[in-house]
Structure 1
Amino acid sequence: MLNAPLAPTQALEEAAEWLMRLSEGDLSDSERAEWEHWKTSSPERDRAWARAQLLQSKLGGLPPSLAMSALDRPASAERRAALGKLALLLAVMPIGWGGWKLTETADYSTRVGEQRELVLADGSRITLNTDTAIDVRFDSQQRLVHLREGEVLVQTAHDASRPFLVSTRQGRMQALGTRFTVRELDMRTHLAVLEGAVKVSLADNSQTAPLIVSAGQRTDFSAQTFGALDTADGNVDAWTRGMLMADKMRLADFVAQMMRYRRGFVRCDPAIADLRVSGAFPISDSRRALGMLVQTYPVIVSGHLNGYWVTLSPA
């Protein structure tokens, strides 16, 4: 279960639990091994623990009122309430304390909810989606864009003497006169080709031949293996038009998509996680998008901390 995709809210709750357990005293060898594995099992858990470390460094440990509840094991109502408060504290920590992302400054980046279009020196166009960072390295041999995190739409300009490459931690993609989207998510790279074709080489598996992904196709890959080659969603670039297109999408998946474009957190009650939703939703106005859900589906939206923390519950 540790390697399954999860929402940032769940990662924060898990980080709060580990912070509580660490405050109670020394972990056993097996518990410490479990903790070490947990920290590196997903990007969301890594970021959540970075926030936990930041809280420890700023406050010198848990706030006293929460530290007392940490001693109350096995789980009690008081301890569960303290865990909820701690997870919320991790969520709303001021960005100025160190930031959610612990990365060096990229050549180009966007904040949460922001998009940006670039015209590169060769005339190629790159559109950065929300919370994205790239580096650009052009020389006489190649044109290279490194996607540190996030998602981009690439439209390449012709240059017969220099290949156009997009790299991630999982591999390298060579554009073959094309337009395509690349997103890094859950330790995999997701590629969808809209025009032309893209040749993909894996980062840590030179034995596997490169994969050619043609227009109308999509795939995802880790550093060692390719996923299935499927038909690309025709709305994969809808974010460039300010829209999230849902076609019988699970509500939990819809919430995960909307969270990419807003600060704060949206939590979906498991009772309605599998509710299927459809429609065109504005990504720049999450309040309006959630209002559209309430008008159409049996969902109640409740907010806390001036809308920073939102919960979706069954009506």
Structure 2
Amino acid sequence: MFKSTEKSVIVEQAVEWLLLIKQGKLTEFEKNQFEQWLSQSHLHQKIWQQTIVLEQKFKQLPAEIALPVIQQQPSKTHNGHWLLLLGSFSALWFAYLLNEQQQWTADYRNGKGAAKTVLLPDGGSILLHANSAIDVQYTSQQRKIILRKGEIWIETRPDAAHRPFVVSTQYGQAQALGTQYSVKIEQKEAYVAVEKGAVKVQPQNSTQYKVVHVGEQIRFNQQKIGAVEALDITQLAWTKGLMMVDDMPLSQFIERLKPFHRAFIYLERDVEQLKISGTYPTDNMSQLYEMLEQNYQIQVNQYAANRMVSISAKK
């Protein structure tokens, strides 16, 4: 059993490793040291995974919070700056854990990796995207799904009691009118895409609503609804275990890949803007990396039991 002080030490070590890795390429000696550190215990591996997730969250912080920290670049010759960044990152790490504990209380949740199917009491089903969480609340009056985090794809079934089927988010709700549809929570809004039937979308703080039909999508926040658009089918490729992209910068491609991959991915700057196109499997990372190497002038190296990935220009 690990004491809280021991966990704190491992957290600090994980943050130090992350900051070191983000400075640039590790030497072979440093790679070996990292692998030895990671293999010490399951807790080391778990905290490392959580630190990777936090690093992604850190990028999404508002500028007024993130910039004062980011501007303190880590340097081996400026210990004060290094300690400031380490302290700030450690504080964010613990704040992240507190937030994650709220997600752990959800009825159903899914971490990194493949999508997860949830069967509903009425025979319908929900596909949970990676890093997603929901509550299922069925009463005599309605069938309600609370989307706490991430994205879901829903296939509804007719209800003998004619109870409405509603997906509720912090931005509003999406009521099914006999359908297959997807609901996603983003940073400042929610997204609904309809594959079959129709969905009634209404913001949290508005009486306004719109009905979205098959082959359409829409975005909305707590106050208003955006324009109805043609469905971008690539956004739903994850439901088939795929990721479809067209002329997308490699840096953006990697960001979209991260929810499916339990690894820290380091991307060399000289390949960040390389344009990627095609359809890639999100449930087989080795195959995905092979496809990238075959089609583009890049080299993918995996180490530390595939928990670390570096992508650089092919020599």
How high is the TM-score relative to the length of structure 1?
0.67
Q: Secondary structure at the match of 1:223?
A: coil
Q: Distance in 2 between matches of 1:118 and 1:75?
A: 44
1:134 matched to which residue of 2? 134
More displaced 10-residue stretch of structure 1: 123-132 or 297-306:
297-306
For 2:275 and 2:73, locate their aligned partners in 1 and report how far apart those are by CA, in whole Å.
37
CA contact (8 A) 1:142 1:164 kept: yes
Alignment length (residue pairs): 248
Alpha-carbon contact 1:218-1:230 (below 8 Å) kept: yes
Cα deviations by residue, 1:80-104 (Å, 9 ceiling, x for unpaired): 9958x959x96xx9xxx95882324
Tell me, in whole angstroms, the C-alpha distance in 1 between the residues paired with 2:73 and 2:304: 30
**Shift in CA distance, 74/278, structure 1 to aligned 2, threshold 3 Å:** closer
Partner of 1:56: none
Instruction: Specify the alignment match of 2:176 in structure 1.
Output: 175
Aligned twin of 1:34? none
Provide the C-alpha distance between the structure 2 equivalents of 1:171 and 1:248, rounded to a whole number of angstroms: 33
3-state secondary structure, aligned to 2:105: coil
Give the conservation status (yes or no) of the 8 Å contact 1:134–1:149. Answer: yes
Residues 91-118 of structure 1: CA deviation (Å, up to 9, x unaligned): xx9xxx9588232411112221132222
Instruction: Report the counterpart of residue 65 of structure 1 in structure 2.
Output: none
Give the drift of 1:296. 0.7
Name the structure 2 match of 1:194: 195
Show the counterpart of 1:184: 185
Task: Report the identity percentage.
Answer: 33
Q: Which residue of the partner structure matches residue 78 of structure 1?
A: 77
Show structure 2 runs of 5+ residues with no match.
Answer: 1-14, 23-55, 63-68
Matched with 2:114 is: 114
Matches within 5 A, 1:253-292: 253-292=252-291
Q: Deviations over 1:210-235 (max 9, x none)?
A: 12211111122222233342211224
Point out 4+ residue stretches in structure 1 off by more than 6 angstroms. Answer: 46-49
One-letter amino acid of the counterpart of residue 162, structure 2: S
Shift of 1:163: 0.7
- Residue 233 of structure 1 corresponds to 232
Name the CA shift for 1:100/1:307 in 2 (closer, same or farther; >3 Å): farther
Please tell me the root mean square deviation across aligned C-alpha atoms, in Å. 3.7
Whichever structure has more helix as a proportion of its residues is 2
- Whole-Å Cα distance in 2 between the matches of residues 105 and 115 of structure 1? 19
- In 2 relative to 1, CA 48–234 (structure 1 residues): closer, same or farther, beyond 3 Å? closer
* Aligned-partner Cα distance in 1 for 2:246–2:229: 17
Report the CA distance shift for 1:79/1:293 in structure 2 as closer, same or farther (over 3 A): farther
8 Å CA contact 1:47–1:101 kept in 2: the answer is no
For residues 245 and 266 of structure 2, the distance between their equivalents in structure 1, rounded to whole angstroms, comes to 18
Q: Is the 8 A contact 1:143 1:162 kept in 2?
A: yes
* 8 A Cα contact 1:117 1:125, kept in partner: yes
CA distance in 2, matches of 1:271, 1:186: 29
Asked if 2 retains the 8 angstrom alpha-carbon contact of 1:114 and 1:131, the reply is no
Tell whether the 8 Å contact from 1:47 to 1:100 is kept in structure 2 after alignment: no
Aligned to 2:241: 242
Aligned CA distance change for structure 1 residues 251 and 47 (closer, same or farther; 3 Å): closer
Counterparts of 2:221 and 2:267 in 1: how far apart (Å)? 28
The one-letter code sitting in structure 2 at the alignment partner of 1:142 is Q
Tell me the equivalent position of 1:28. Answer: none
**What per-residue deviation string (whole Å, max 9, x for no partner) do you get for residues 128-171 of structure 1?**
12122110001111100011112111011113621100011111
State how 1:5-84 maps to structure 2 within 5 Å: 44-45=57-58, 78-79=77-78, 82=82
Rounded to whole Å, the distance in 2 between the matches of 1:124 and 1:109 is: 17
DSSP 3-state at the match of 1:154: strand
Q: Deviations over 1:26-67 (max 9, x none)?
A: xxxxxxxxxxxxxxxxx9239989xxxxxxxxxxxxxxxxxx
Gaps of 5+ in 1: 1-8, 17-42, 50-69
C-alpha deviation, 1:305, in angstroms: 4.1
User: 1:153 is matched by which residue type in structure 2?
Assistant: W
